[in-house]
Amino acid sequence: MDESLSRKRIIDLLETLSRWLDVKAPGRHFELLVVGGAALALSGDKDRTFDVDVLRPPRLESVLEQGVAAVARSRGLPPRWLSTSVADIFARLHAPRRWPAYFDEVGFSLPVGGNLLILVAGRQALISLKLFAASPSVAKHVDDLLALEPTTEDLRIAIDFVRSIDSTDVRRDDLRAVLRRLGSGNESLAVWP
Task: Specify the pLDDT at position 94.
Answer: 67
Q: Is the peptide bond before 57 cis (omega within 30 degrees of 0)?
A: yes
- Tell me, yes or no, whether 131 and 144 share the same domain: yes
Report residue 12 CA to chain centroid gap. 19
Does residue 56 belong to any structural domain of this protein?
A: yes
Cα distances (angstroms) measured from residue 103 to each of 42, 80, 129, 139, 175: 18, 23, 10, 24, 21
- Tell me, yes or no, whether 46 and 27 share the same domain: yes
- Tell me, yes or no, whether 104 and 19 share the same domain: yes
Q: What 3-state class would DSSP assign to 84? A: coil
Residue 110, domain extent = 5-121
- Tell me, yes or no, whether 135 and 102 share the same domain: no
Total count of residues recorded for the chain: 193
What are the φ and ψ backbone dihedral angles of 13, each rounded to 5 degrees? -65, -40
- Tell me, yes or no, whether 76 and 130 share the same domain: no
The tally of domains found in the chain comes to: 2
Task: Write out pLDDT tens, residues 13-63.
Answer: 999 999 999 999 999 999 999 999 999 999 999 999 999 999 999 999 999
Task: Specify the pLDDT at position 177.
Answer: 86
Task: Specify the pLDDT at position 95.
Answer: 64
Q: Which residues of the chain have pLDDT under 50?
A: 1
- Tell me, yes or no, whether 60 and 146 share the same domain: no
C-alpha span between 81 and 84 (Å, rounded): 10
